[in-house]
Amino acid sequence: MQYWGFFERYNPVLSEDDIRAKLNVLFLKNEKGEDWYDVAKRIPLDEIVVVADSTGSISISSREADRLFPQEGHVYSFHYDGDPSTLVGRVIRDGRIVEATVRRAVTRYEARMFLLNNGLLERVEEFVRSDPALRIWYEDAPMWDVTDSQVKEVERFLSAYGQKLEALFAEK
């Protein structure tokens, strides 16, 4: 298992003729100062790439590093013959992938950071704006309980896009 670092957003200095400046591209770098796009090119093509939070909970997995945007996430790669999606919700402990137990509830902050890190925040916020009661819950509920009807409604919405909230409730 190769560890590539913890990636956070940053704003590089770009020349006016750099196309990325005109496209509002977002940038990430790890604690060594390496840009995500450069690191992604170095990850072997035959390895699975996973993004985990500070507790090791895997929220994203892919065979293609350049399809990921691991903001506020730890990036690992390794050889794996199975379906990458089966790794989501598992936990990295001592360099190994282990099953996670399920938590009953998470804080509003944890839920929104999960959505942000998985590229789902804007989509979910647009969805909850369509229903006043759902919007009030989303804005005011301090906790997201796995049994809440609102959580289930958000999960049903996300399932249309092939997304799940399972990793959000994985034991930390």
Helix, strand, coil content of the chain in percent (nearest 5): 35, 25, 40
Q: So where are the chain's domains?
A: 2-98, 105-169
Structure tokens at 139: 């804005």
Residues of the chain predicted below pLDDT 50: none
Amino acid 41 reads K
Radius of gyration of the chain (CA): 17
pTM: 0.58
